[in-house]
Amino acid sequence: LERLKALQSMSRKGECWDNAAMESFFATLKLELNLDKAQGNRSDTRNLVFEWIEVFYNRERRHSSLGYRSPTHFEEHRATLN
């Protein structure tokens, strides 16, 4: 952090909410891609994760925070309201 001149973000002891969203995301990623076991080489895994995030998670996967709609469907619905 010092070398990069970055500031560390930490909550007070016992307040874990800072990372809850990211921890949930990574848990979902690992579960849905079965990443607890080594598969292929680093490049293959990197491409698999990229594809999952950019194509599936950000466009198709239904999210509870969006009323169990995909981000694409949520945005399309939202556009019809305006």
5 — pLDDT class (breaks 50, 70, 90): confident
Q: Residues 17-30: what's their mean pLDDT? A: 83
pTM of the model: 0.65
Spatial distance between the Cα atoms of 25 and 27, rounded to a whole number of angstroms: 5
Domain positions in the chain are 17-81
Spatial distance between the Cα atoms of 29 and 37, rounded to a whole number of angstroms: 13
16 — pLDDT class (breaks 50, 70, 90): low
Contact of 49 with 56, CB cutoff 8 Å: no
